[in-house]
């Protein structure tokens, strides 16, 4: 598996290191998928697509009743007071993670209202962006430098962790405190030969050997012929790394 010195030593149950992106458009589909996945997934990410279904908190409460952990991935990005108000309303809902996008004042506002149980994850650079996209946006710097710069600021401002591609996780782990969380989306269990919107991807083992604490996987499980077996296979690979 190569160099294992950066593998996370945090007290996280191996089964919880897999976060499944529950990106569907209605509550019935979501519940059917959760039921199908059964005990192979204990941590779920709820994003914008499901938010627009109108059943966000209904499903959130249903998942909590099933003792599942929740990652609210809504990437709060607005004036600081509005973000603070959103986080304040969320912090007592039983949620584990929430994402925040934006500058220092936005992150500070979120941190000030997060309470003791909700963890704020700062978005660095979306895994759907590559060097060409950043050029178009006017960022004249290396992707890794931009991610590291944003992650350092997030750490200094009191965020609990960052969302980062597995390609940059190694630099983050080498430059930031061990207790700072790295959550890595854009995981492709095999080479990313299917054309999709994720450009900076790694596989399961590479993400963790680069220092990720959690990985987020959606389509490779959701679109598998048997989602249960797909998730079980990934959990077995994670177990070999951490058990």
The CATH number of the domain holding residue 186 is 3.20.20.70
How confident is the model at residue 108, as a pLDDT? 97
Would you say the pTM of this structure is higher than 0.85?
Answer: yes
| Tally of domains in the chain | 1
CA angle, residues 218, 124, 41, in degrees to nearest 5: 25
Q: Give me the domain span that covers residue 142.
A: 14-242
The H or E element containing residue 78 is none
Domain contains 79: yes
Tell me the two tokens of residue 153: 């600021």
Domain contains 84: yes
Which of the following is catalytic: 75, 93, 119, 144? 75
Q: Is residue 170 flagged as an active site residue?
A: no
Domain contains 90: yes
How confident is the model at residue 188, as a pLDDT? 56
Domain contains 5: no
Domain contains 9: no
Domain contains 4: no
Domain contains 60: yes
Domain contains 207: yes
- The three-state secondary structure class of 107 is helix
Q: What is the pLDDT of residues 118-159, one digit of tens each?
A: 999 998 865 544 555 445 545 555 667 777 888 999 999 999
């Amino acid at each position: 598996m190569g160099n294992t010195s950066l593998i996370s030593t945090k007290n996280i149950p191996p089964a919880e290191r897999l976060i499944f992106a529950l990106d569907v458009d209605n509550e019935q589909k979501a519940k059917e998928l959760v039921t199908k996945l059964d005990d192979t997934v204990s941590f779920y990410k709820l994003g914008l697509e499901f938010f627009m279904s109108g059943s966000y908190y209904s499903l959130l409460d249903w998942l909590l009743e099933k003792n599942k952990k929740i990652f609210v991935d809504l990437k709060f990005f607005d004036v600081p007071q509005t973000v603070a108000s959103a986080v304040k309303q969320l912090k007592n809902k039983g949620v584990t993670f929430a994402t925040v996008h934006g500058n220092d004042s936005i992150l500070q506002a979120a941190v000030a209202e997060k309470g003791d149980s909700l963890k704020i994850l700062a978005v660095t650079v979306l895994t759907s962006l590559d060097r060409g996209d950043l050029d178009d946006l006017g960022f004249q710097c290396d992707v890794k430098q931009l991610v590291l710069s944003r992650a350092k600021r997030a750490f200094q401002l009191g965020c609990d962790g960052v969302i980062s591609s597995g390609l940059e996780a190694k630099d983050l782990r080498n430059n930031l405190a061990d207790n700072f969380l790295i959550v890595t989306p854009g995981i492709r269990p095999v080479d990313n030969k299917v054309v999709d919107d994720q450009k900076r991807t790694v596989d399961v083992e590479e993400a963790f050997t680069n220092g990720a604490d959690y990985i987020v996987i959606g389509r490779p499980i959701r679109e598998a012929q048997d989602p249960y077996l797909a998730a079980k296979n990934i959990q077995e690979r994670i177990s070999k790394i951490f058990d």
